[in-house]
Amino acid sequence: MKMTNITRICCILILLAGWVVVGKAVAADEAAVVDTQKVLQEMPVLTGETWQTMQPDSKIAFIWGVGHVVTIEEHVIQRHPELLRKDFVAKLGDGLRGVPMSSIIEQVDGYYRQNPDDLDLPVMRVIWSEVVRPRLKAGIADQPFREQ
């Protein structure tokens, strides 16, 4: 089957158009990556100001993420017991064990509602002081708690 010159030219134009479209899409993706990298250069701290504006699903996702960090560390320690420490994550795991995510969210919401001047406090600090610490006998590295 013979191709006519017009058919060849159309095929070439279609290929060129495809390359242009793909090139623009790649450039847009690269620009988005650069913008995202600028934003992610510093890990933002989630405070009460943002927490108050979050949808329930986002709050659950945050608590779930905290739980995954704890779970991952526990699994690593099971494989490498020499890494066992009484650090923040271990204490977080001890203090959150058995606490439903909905209860954590309710306690954080309640704290910020009752303390509107503390909206600049990080959510993790509120979780520690309101949920975790009351359930622990000793603090990080099994140090006694200081009076507040």
Give the tokens for residue 46: 């989630």
Q: What is the pLDDT of residue 29?
A: 52
Q: Which pTM does this prediction carry?
A: 0.66
Per-residue pLDDT of the chain (148 residues; tens, 9 = 90+): 455 556 556 556 565 455 555 455 555 555 555 555 555 567 789 999 999 999 999 999 999 988 888 888 888 888 888 877 777 788 888 889 999 999 999 999 999 999 999 999 999 999 989 999 998 887 666 666 676 5
Please give the DSSP secondary-structure letter assigned to residue 47: B
Give the tokens for residue 48: 């009460």
Among residues 48, 53, 141, 43, the alpha carbon closest in space to that of 89 is found at 141
Q: What is the pLDDT of residue 7?
A: 58
Q: How far apart are CA 148 and CA 139, in angstroms?
A: 13
Integer angstrom CA distances of residue 45 from 42, 68, 104, 113: 9, 18, 18, 19
Q: How do the domains of the chain map onto residue ranges?
A: 1-42, 48-142
What phi, psi does 47 have (nearest 5°)? -110, 175
